[in-house]
Structure formats: C-alpha cells, structure tokens
Amino acid sequence: MADPDMIPQVQPWLEDDEARAAAQAVADNWITEGPRSQEFSDRLNKLIGVPYGVFAPNGTLALALALLAVGIKPGDEIIIPDITFIGSATAAILVGAVPVFVDVERQTFQIDIAKAEAAVTKKTRAVMPVHLYGTACDMDGVASFAKRHGLKVVEDAAQGICVSFKNRHVGGLGDAGCFSFFADKTLTTGEGGYVACNDEDVYTQLRLLRNQGRLDRGSFIHPAIGFNFRMTDMQAAVGLAQFNKLDRIMAAKSQILEWYRQGFDGLGQVRMLSNAPNANHVPFRCVLIAQNAHALMEHLSKSGVQTRGFFYPMHKQPCFADLARQHANRHAFDDANFPNAVFGYENGLCLPIFPTLTHDQVQHITSAIRQYYS
Ligand SMILES: Cc1ncc(COP(=O)(O)O)c(C=O)c1O
C-alpha cells in the first residue's frame, strides 16, 4: 500500500470509465483479444500514423517481438543508448542478441548518434533509439546512420505516446516502434505493450511470432515458430477509456510542467529537462539536473516526496558484468566512454508528474527544493 503521507512518484489516473469499460468486457463474456483490442489497435495506429500494429504483454516483450520480426538473430549486435530503462537492453538479450551501449547527448540525454559510428562492427544489425523522458531522439540522424550501415531501426517508444519528431509521432519512424502501457505511462492498461510498423512483411512476421506461428487462431497447424505475446480485451477496454481522455491527460501534464517551471523560476541550482531539438515534450517524469541531486532526493524524501533517480547507465549495470568481461576491448565499458550518461546519473532526479498531481502538491515540492538550496 502506498504511504498516504508521501506524494507518490507515479499514480495512474483511473476513474469510473475505466472500471465500467473493464467490467463490460467481463459482462460481455469476451476477455481475450477481441472487439475492444481491434478498436484500441485502430486508434493507436491512427495516433501513431502507421497502417499496422500488434499488442504485446508489455513494453519489454514488444521490443523483443519487434527485434525478432525485423530478423534479429542470436549473436547480432544492437546499438542501444547507455541511458535507458533496463528493458531496452534485456529485450535484446531475450532474443539472443548483444546490446552495445553508446553514450547519450549532454543536453537531451537521447542517444548521441555521432558516437554510434565507433560502435559498429561486422555483427551490428540494428539500432534502438530510445525516446527518453517524454521527448525524442534525432530520428534524421538515426535514419541516415542506419542507412549508411544497413541496419534495422527498432524504436523504443515505451515512454513515447503523443511524442513527436518533426511533427511525426515516434514509433512510426523506423522499421518497428514499441510502446509500453505500464501504470506510469501517459496511457496505461496496467501492463501492456504495442508494436507499430509500416511494412506489411514486418506486420506478418509480428502476427506469426505473437500467435504461435499462425495468422489466425483456431488452427493447430503452425506454419512458423511463434509464441504467445497476446493481451486481453479487459486491458484494451481500459486503454480505450484512457484514450477518450488523452486530451485531458496531456493538458494536465503540461499544466503541471508549467507549475514546476514557475516554481523553479530563477533557481540557478536546477535545470528542468525539456524538449529535444525538433521534438515536443510530453513529460514522462519531471526530470531535473540539479546540484547535489542525490542529497536533494534524500531531503525530498524527508519532506514527503517520493523521487526516483535518473536511469543507471547500462555499462555500469551489475547484470551486464559478463558482457563487459567478454568484450573484445577491455576498456569498452569504462566510464570514460560514457561521460554524459554518468553525468546524468550523478546529477539527475525525477519528480512526479502524474495527471492528478495538484497545484498545492507541486508547490510543496518546489518549496522543499528551494528550502534545500537556501
Ligand atoms: C524506455 C523504456 N523501455 C522499455 C520499457 C519496458 O516496458 P515494460 O515495463 O512495459 O516492459 C520501459 C518501461 O518503463 C521504458 O521506460
């Protein structure tokens, strides 16, 4: 149970509409993927601007499914930014591929595609730009890098609902784009994921892979090897209810961001992360680069505010120690290769920005931060 005296880091915005929608799926006795999943998928495709898409149980499995569908094989190397959620990298591991980490940009913390050149080897097959913290990577840079080296582009748009690059929704800009509907995402179904794509052959692969190697259910003859990556119609029902209030969710997030901006006005010790060039900003968290970030987090915890750190750099993750040991270059995982990722981790923190956060709560948070620096 959440501590009622703490302002939580995340809180899904679930109302009667979501409860009624899920209950209706149960009342209609249709709980596996069905009419609601179809409608949810149609609306997602329209939003993202793609002709095709399939659900997955969560964002991590959406990424694994997408990697398989674009033809990634065991031993292939995938270029991934050093600052991301661990699921980007473990999705690669799940399909037998090798994640290769590249530093991020200092201002935006999106992948620094210029630095990716040095990471390309004979085994590199894909790049996974991660649209982080509610803004977007330089997808022009990613596209020309991928073209130059003949790589697939699998976008990690797990945090990217309503995020765009040059006015085009992320997740529809590469060979496949993956979303998460976990409870802290702009649009949630509790758990859930989605893979969007433009190419009919990729779509066919996605359908085969997610449904035991068949294009339709009901047959026990399986033309291909596939698995079960399906979702439920109860989740889709919740997703549709969330879709109906997407405008309100977006409006609430930008209002809260504005309250934070006002609260930090003139405070030189903090910098709020905002949109990357050519991209908009639909904040996934209110990310601050702050003086003494880790001590500030402790102060906020004592002031009743739950914070989160910046993502921990992938090259430092204990779970990837073997990757570091096996790497041909024994210096490949040194901090010196990832100065911006290390900087982000040491100086970054995340404040809550869920839609039901009130003005009073934001004022409490910004006052506590001002008090810390006073
Ligand atoms: C950037 C990124 N990639 C992948 C994921 C994995 O999504 P899920 O938690 O739905 O598996 C997340 C989830 O937070 C994420 O933020």
What is the CATH classification number for the domain harbouring 321? 3.90.1150.10
Q: Per-residue pLDDT tens for 83-117?
A: 999 999 999 999 999 999 999 999 999 999 999 99
Last residue of a domain, one of 213, 244, 275: 244
My answer on whether 56 and 196 are in the same domain is yes
Instruction: Say what the pLDDT of residue 216 is.
Output: 82
Ligand 1 centroid vs 134 CA: distance in angstroms?
Answer: 13
pLDDT at 2 (0 to 100): 67
Q: Which atom of ligand 1 is nearest to the CA of 181?
A: 10
Overall number of domains in the chain: 2
Report the nearest atom of ligand 1 relative to the CA of 180: 10
Domain boundary, last residue among 192, 214, 244: 244
Lining ligand 1 with CB less than 6 A are 58-60, 84-85, 87-88, 130, 156, 158-159, 180, 182, 193
Q: Is the same domain home to 135 and 36?
A: yes
Residue 216 shares a structural domain with residue 266: no
Task: For residue 184, give the ligand 1 atom closest to its CA.
Answer: 14
Same domain? 284 vs 250:
yes
339 falls within a domain: yes
- What spacing in Å lies between the alpha carbon of 59 and ligand 1's midpoint? 5
Residue 278 confidence (pLDDT): 98
Domain identity same for 84 and 170: yes
How far does the centroid of ligand 1 lie from the alpha carbon of residue 97, in Å?
18
- Domain co-membership, 224 together with 250: no
Q: Does residue 172 sit in the same domain as residue 295? A: no
Q: 218 C-alpha vs ligand 1 centroid, how far in Å?
A: 32
3-state per-residue secondary structure call for the chain: CCCCCCECCCCCCCCHHHHHHHHHHHHCCCCECCHHHHHHHHHHHHHHCCCEEEEECCHHHHHHHHHHHCCCCCCCEEEEECCCCHHHHHHHHHCCCEEEEECECCCCCCECHHHHHHHCCCCEEEECCECCCCCCCCHHHHHHHHHHHCCEEEEECCCCCCCEECCEECCCCCCEEEEECECCCCCCCECCEEEEECCHHHHHHHHHHHECCCCCCCCCCCCCCCCECCCEHHHHHHHHHHHHCHHHHHHHHHHHHHHHHHHHCCCCCEEECCCCCCECCCCCCEEEEECCHHHHHHHHHHCCECCEECCCCHHHCHHHHHHHHHCCCCCCCCHHHCHHHHHHHHHEEEECCCCCCCHHHHHHHHHHHHHHHC
Ligand 1 atom with the smallest distance to the CA of 131 is 1
Q: Considering the domain boundaries, does residue 2 fall inside one?
A: no
Q: In this structure, are 265 and 240 located in the same domain?
A: no
Ligand 1 atom 10: the closest Cα is on which residue?
A: 59
Nearest CA owner, ligand 1 atom 8 = 59
Is 4 part of a structural domain of the chain? no
Q: Which of 10, 65, 80, 85 to mutate to test the pocket of ligand 1 (most atoms within 8 A of CB)?
A: 85
The domain boundary, picked from 244, 278, 295, lies at: 244
Atom of ligand 1 nearest to the CA of 182: 10
Residues 164 and 125 in one domain: yes
- Look at residue 6 and tell me if it is in a domain: no
With respect to residue 251, please indicate whether it lies within any of the assigned structural domains: yes
> Domain check: are 282 and 142 in the same one?
no
How remote is the CA of residue 261 from the centroid of ligand 1, in Å? 27
pTM strictly above 0.85: yes
Low-confidence ranges of the chain (pLDDT < 50): none
Give the domain range for residue 251: 246-373
Q: What is the CATH number of the domain that holds 149?
A: 3.40.640.10
Report yes or no on 7 lying in a domain: no
Q: For 280-329, write each residue's pLDDT tens digit.
A: 999 999 999 999 999 999 999 999 999 999 999 999 999 999 999 998 88
What pLDDT shows up at residue 329? Answer: 86
Residue 336, in any domain of the structure: yes
Same domain assignment for residues 233 and 261 = no
